Each structure stands twice: as C-alpha cells, then as structure tokens.
Structure 1
C-alpha cells in the first residue's frame, strides 16, 4: 500500500507496524469420531496442528502444542523471534514426552505443526509434518511448506510422480512429527519478508481432498477471510471429508488506530474468587488430560480407520490455581500461577483478538488443559503455559529422584562388594594348590593353579629341581609340560620323587612288579624249583652241586616300559 507524503514536511511518515487479519475454522468431518486438529490465529501468531495417535492422544497432542504456543502472540520478540518460535516448538515436543511419561496410555501420540510468527516486519515460519502453508503474493499462489511424508521423499528422489502421490497406499505415512519418539525433531525454519497485501492459508491435510485448483480459486476470489475459511471447509465436507479439516486464513496488513485500541493488555487482573499461587511456594499444575482405553495409532500412519472413541479427557487433577495457598497482597506474578487455571487462560484469551478452534478450544472450554501435573513439576507446568516462570530450585525438583538414586548406588556398591569378595576367596583357594611343571628346561614345583585370570597369573614358582626335562621319557615330558596337579606341597614333592626314580609321575606301587630272580643265560637249563624233590641217589655218593646260573643284569623298567 502506498504511503502518502506528509504535506507539511514533504517526507513520508514512518510505516506503521504490520499485523495479521485472520479467520479460523475447524470441523470434525463426516467420518471421524472426534476432532484431533487444533488451531490458533491472532495479530502476530497463526498455528495449525494436526494430532495423531488414535483415540488415546491425537486431540491431546495438538491441543497441548497449540495452547503451549499461544503466549507467542505478541510483537515483543524482536530479532530473536525465529529462535523463540523454534525453541517453543521444541518445548512443546518435550511437553508431549512428559505427558506420555505421566500417562502411558498416551504413548504413540504426536502432532504436526505449521506456524507463522510476525515480528518486526518479518514472518518467521516453522513447520513439521504434513499440514501445509500457502502464500498468495502479487497474483502468485504457491505452497511454501514441504510435506514430511514418505511419498514426498519418493517424489524428491525422482521415484514417484506428483500426480501419483494422491493414490499411493502410503501417502499418509509421516517421516517427521512432534511426539514422544524424537527428543529433538528436525524443523523446517525460514524467515520471510512480510508485505502488506500478502495472504496466507494454513491448513491440516484434511483440505487435501479438495482439488488444488478449487482451493486456489477460493483463496484468490473470496476477499472476506471468514467467508473464505467457511467455503474451504464446506468444499471439504462436500468432498466426503474422511478426515478432520482445519483452515486458518491470514492477511498481512498495516496496523490501524482501531487495532491499537483493542490490543492485548499486558497485565491480566485476577479472576474473581480464585486464589493466586504464592511465588515462594511455586505454583500447582493444571489438570493433566486423561486418555481413553482404546488402542492408539502409531506415528507411521495417522489416518487409520475411525471408530468411536473418547474425546478430550475431562478428568481434573489436584492442584488447580483455586486450591493454591493464598499469597500476600501484591506478591503474585499475573503471568505465573494464575495461568494454570483454565478460567484464567480463558480470561487471557478474551483480552485480545484471536480465534482458537478444534481440540484446543474444547480443552480451554472444558478446563482439561493437557499439561504436567504434580507439585514437584509445578513451576515446569507454569513455564510450559507462560514461559515466564523462574526455573525450579534443586530442592523443589529433585526430592522424588534422590531415594531412587541412593538405592541405585547402594545396589551397585553391594554388587561390587560381592564380586570383590568372591574374587578374593577364589584367589585364596588357588594359593592352597600346587602343581609340577617346567622351568628353564627343568622340573619345577609351582604354588597355585596353572590358569590365568586376564593379565593375572594365578601361580608362583615354589622350587626348581635338578631333574632335566630331556632325561625323562617323552610321555613324562609331555605330562610335565601340560602340568601335573597336586593336592598340596607334599603331593608335589612325591610326584617329583617318582620322576627322579622311575621317570613317571605315578607312585612306585602303581608300576608293574618285576621278578627278583636272575635271568638264565641262553642255552642253560632252567633252575630247579624249591618244590621239586631231589633225585634218588646213592647215599654214599656226594650230592651234586646245583648248576650256577649265568649272571645277567636286571634292566630298570619304568611304568611306560611296563605298559
């Protein structure tokens, strides 16, 4: 829009700040049992979230994410707006993980996010999932976001044509989402120039069932934003609407004096009848959303068959702001504890122009704000909603973890003691044993056992004998090199003695007995036995002398030779 010159000075007046004109609409569709979409639109923030996780958590995921981001609807972010937006989405991802940790029934839930944050004449864009952002500028209508889907990856790799994507069996398989799967999901981030006259369309993928040319024609030709949003949703319903559909329309315009008079107030007065939380005591958390008992969808595909299931959970928890201890007058931070009350949240939203639709609107109206419950994480819950609370002190955040930590350390110490005692007892037992082995080509006695425990040798040299290994029979050499176990030192000495006398490791009594009778010479008559009677002779004749045996040396017979 052209800015006229100031006739008094001849110069152009300063350009007025840019804001968003907006409209939002969400519908459950004709088939789904509940609406898993959420959206928010305001003067400086527009966001669409499409939840998944079936009956258990799709609506919880999208509502928690959108409600966690609404405080960004402010012009006060300066040059850090892009970083603030990215950090906010990562914080919302952490919130979803904490909700799953508190309530395992929500496991598998997730959500897409597509958001615009207007600050200092720039549009900061963030995107993850398959919700979409379109921009109409100077007559050109184009998709700014890129779908994080399996079929889009196939298209990018040239393995699939764009016209085949709509009929592909895995067209709804998401590759990136917020949820309890990735602690730090990858976002598409960009900073774009904001021009007066730009028109933006943010939508969930339910609008994909309307032909692209019909969507473009509606955005071009329907000047009224609310009428444009209504028309797009009606076109989706006429197409059968097998999924939830959410549409946010945004026009970038210059701020007018009327806009300034209706801007959001900075301080929100306390809600009548509520008790603010004491700053020194921390703040209690809002109610955590409960889940239904039905099984959940996975992140792999968020558009399974729809069956009746529970909607947004409405079970309140302890610790609403109304139950917090009364603080001294003037000590309450209006941006801290009071925001944890759904009533105060509604009051804040009513204080500035905005539209909140889908599951997030249902959560705000019912009071079942999906956030973290419990006193130990009260300040964390406040931070999730307002991001202006101070971090919790160590004594506020860790008491529940200390008993478990000490228990873990105690168990680990006990295990180490048991292992150490067992190793010491085992080593002590080995030092009561002995064996016979080889040392420097001689027979030696060792104390311990011949095995090793890693680098530790479990034996020591006790004594080295004078018996050379090469003086032993081959069989005995092999036995000694393989070590001969002994019960004690006496037993080891006995084995050495056997090696010295017989050349074997066996005791002498185990060897075969060798006859002490002399061996007759070859060709000589065998000696007479003691039992044979003497031959009859003449009594007067002298008795013949017995024949003298031929002496023959008796060889040394070892156990090896006997065998």
Structure 2
C-alpha cells in the first residue's frame, strides 16, 4: 500500500516582531521548517538559505536507509551555504537557523533535527513529540533537575544550544520513523509551543483539515501573547491522492526572498532596525532573538586555521625533539671503539637517520687486557653520570687490567701414569698375598691459585689475552 501526504503550511510574523525569520516548505516528499536567529545577523537569510538547499530532497526515489544519508548530506550542504553567506558579508556573522525535516518515501519517515523547532505526530488521538529540543532547559529536564511543566515557564526556555550556523560541528539528530494511514504530522517553530500547551495543540490537531489546523494553531499562539514568529506545517498521511495535490508550498522568509520582495541586504537592515518595544512600540528594546542564541563566531578560513594548528603541533614536536636531543648530548658512557676502551658522549640508542652518540675520548687501554667480568661490562656499555664519572670508570678499568698483568700465570705438573695390576685368570681358594715389590703410586696434586689481596678475582684474569 502506497501512502501520500495531504499538507498545508502557514507562517505569521506575529504581533511584536516586524520581520519574519521563519521559513517553511511542504511538498509531496518533504516537510521542512527552519527558524532563523541572530537579530542583526539576519536570521531570515539563514532560515531561507537552509530551506532553499534542503528542499531539493523533495523528489521520489529516496527510500529506506538512503533517507538518512540524504538528509545528513542536505543539512551539511545547508551549513556550508551559511558559511559562504557570512564570507560574503561579515555583518551576518553569528546568524543561525534551526532545521526540522521529515522526508517521506510512501512507507516511512526520515527525521533530521537541529535546534528547538519541533516535530509532532498524532496517532489514534494521542500527540507525541518526535524531535528532541536542543535547549538549555531541555538539558535540565533530561538531567531531572526540573519537570516538563517547569520548563514551560522557565525564564531561559528559549536559550538554544545547537543550531545550523556554518560551523563544522553542526550535526543533526537523525532517525527513521514508522508511518501509517491516519497519522497527522506537524512541524512548528518555537513561537507556538513556548506559548501554547500540548493539550491545546492536541485538541486543535484532533479535528479539521491541514489548512484549518495551521490557522487555528497560529491563532492560539497569537491569543496567548506570543512575541515571536509563528510557523506551522501540518500533513495528513492518507491512502488516497492528497487533496492538496502535488504543488509545493513555500512560506515565511524563504517565500519573501524568493519573490524578490527583499534581498539579503534589505533583510539585514530590517533586522537591525527591529525592536520588541512591546505593544506600544516605545523605543528600541532588546530583541528577544538576540538573547536566544549567542553562538561563537563560525570558523572562517578553516583551512588557514587548520594549517596554523598543524604548524603549532609541528613546532611543539620539533621543540620537544630538540630538548630531547640536547639532553642526550649531555650524557656519557664507557664502551668499546674497535679494540680499545673509549668514552662516548650521548646515549647508546639507535634512531634512524640520527646519531645519538659519538666517541669523546679514545683510551689506550685494550679491551682484551681487561678481566673477563670487566670486559663484558665494557662491551655492554657502562653508563656514567657525567664526564668525570666516565673518566673514573676508565681509571678503575685500567687498575683492574694492571692487576691482571702483574699476577703470575699458574703452572701445572703432569700426573704420573699408574699401570693397573693383572687379575689372576684361575680362581684360588685363598686370597693372594699382595706383592711386596709392587709400589702403590699416589697422583700428584693440582696447584690452586691463592686469592689475591687486590680487587680483581684471580679467575677473571684467565681470559686476559
């Protein structure tokens, strides 16, 4: 069964503000709403640009998992467009826009959301919020610090945390949602839910056509004293051909800019002249939108900043490497240089393309003249705290070699050979008498070296060549 959408969209500037920073679009395959912000930074330009880029998704053929990729890509392209607009006119620095989009493939919905505009679905008489607000107050609700009812009247309920603003970290929430015939979908800017309770919204959505519902919802917001722009998109999921046909609807700032009634420059000037002033309009007050979102400046010239970061990192690495190398060149150890003992400057480590040690002083002491234990130490290198300590090690090695050279080498006496006696071939009943003339030889003893009174073990000197 193939489903379709019967939709309507409406936007009102409100009773206080003189410019509409909301933009919305409704088509056979896409419902889209963007609420611009930034006051003097031309929020209407931001919302209009976002809608003009993302509305290109309103076409058949985007189904299933492809919807998520398509939505994410469109939001990122809209974000890049905002960055380009600020590059063209620095006066727009700081502008941003919410984005809430529902992509429809006839069987399911793909949701992309960023900011505090909302998406609702009414099914079987029950209203359910599909989107999650990216606001300070919602974070308090999520943490359990305030209730949902307290959030409705919280003084900072309009403080938004995430929007589409040209910065590279503007990633939307993405979700696949089920849909069925009889569902009613609604997108709205914060000018509605900040002043009208969900009970009133649910009552209005329970009856009527999409056209009558958008009018009734905006009327409720105006009567509740909403000082913001109010925009609604309502769509019914139906099994028959939609009553509204397939003609897309574009409302709000996007429609005004598309008609040429005002260009980006005019929109910016008009935003600068805005003031809330209350109903009496007495003097220029602080624009509520200026309090709503105060983003950091978008990251312009991103490639240049990344290059600067890379240069800094390389500088830190290079500086650290220089200090490390400088430290190694203050170290000393004793090792071998060919057949001789030598003092080396540096550390005995191998780094490709870099010499960390070199011969500092070559000694006249031959390695072969050292006792076995000392020779093994030198061949494995002996670390020293400084140059003086290295020279002291060489002095001790020379002393050990001198001790071995002064010790006489032991001599050995050959052992005499003893001829074995021949056993009698015929057994006798009485034991034979030992021959009186056969001498019994005693082997000569092997001389043992006596320990030296020096510091070298005499046995170590056996390996001296």
| Correspondence 1:485-524 to 2 at 5 A | none
**Which residue among 253, 268, 285 is the counterpart of 1:359?**
253
- Residue 234 of structure 1 aligns with which residue? 219
Q: CA deviation at 1:224?
A: 2.8
**Which residue among 115, 119, 123 is the counterpart of 2:109?**
123
Q: Which deviations, in whole Å up to 9, do the C-alpha atoms of 1:140-190 show, x marking residues without a partner?
A: 222222212122122122111111112323322223222223435141422
Distance 1:74 1:227, change over 3 A: same
Equivalent pair of 1:29/1:245 in contact (CA under 8 Å): yes
| CA distance, structure 2, for counterparts of residue 70 and residue 146 of structure 1 | 22
**Which residue among 187, 199, 217 is the counterpart of 2:184?**
199
Distance 1:257 1:110, change over 3 A: closer
Distance 1:201 1:457, change over 3 A: same
Equivalent pair of 1:94/1:183 in contact (CA under 8 Å): no
Are 2:231 and 1:246 aligned?
Answer: yes
| CA distance, structure 1, for counterparts of residue 6 and residue 335 of structure 2 | 96
Q: Which segments of 5 or more consecutive residues in structure 2 lack a partner in the other structure?
A: 265-301, 320-333, 337-341, 350-354, 366-386, 391-465
The DSSP-based 3-state class of the residue aligned with 2:59 is coil
| CA distance, structure 2, for counterparts of residue 210 and residue 119 of structure 1 | 31
| Correspondence 1:50-449 to 2 at 5 A | 50-79=35-64, 80-195=66-181, 197-208=182-193, 209-221=195-207, 223-256=208-241, 263=246, 353-366=247-260
- Residue 18 of structure 1 aligns with which residue? 3
Distance 1:481 1:130, change over 3 A: same
| CA distance, structure 2, for counterparts of residue 257 and residue 201 of structure 1 | 16
Q: Which segments of 5 or more consecutive residues in structure 1 lack a partner in the other structure?
A: 1-14, 264-352, 371-400, 420-437, 441-445, 466-479, 484-563
Q: Which deviations, in whole Å up to 9, do the C-alpha atoms of 1:423-456 show, x marking residues without a partner?
A: xxxxxxxxxxxxxxx999xxxxx9xxx999x975
Equivalent pair of 1:218/1:228 in contact (CA under 8 Å): yes
TM-score by length of 2: 0.56
Equivalent pair of 1:107/1:180 in contact (CA under 8 Å): no
Distance 1:219 1:369, change over 3 A: same
Q: Which deviations, in whole Å up to 9, do the C-alpha atoms of 1:346-386 show, x marking residues without a partner?
A: xxxxxxx121111111121118787xxxxxxxxxxxxxxxx
TM-score by length of 1: 0.47
| CA distance, structure 2, for counterparts of residue 194 and residue 75 of structure 1 | 18
Q: CA deviation at 1:50?
A: 0.9
The DSSP-based 3-state class of the residue aligned with 1:236 is helix
- Residue 16 of structure 2 aligns with which residue? 31
Distance 1:213 1:358, change over 3 A: same
Q: CA deviation at 1:86?
A: 2.8
The DSSP-based 3-state class of the residue aligned with 1:62 is helix
- Bigger RCO (CA 8 Å, 6+ sep): 2
| CA distance, structure 2, for counterparts of residue 215 and residue 256 of structure 1 | 26
Equivalent pair of 2:72/2:174 in contact (CA under 8 Å): no
The DSSP-based 3-state class of the residue aligned with 1:194 is coil
Equivalent pair of 1:125/1:192 in contact (CA under 8 Å): no
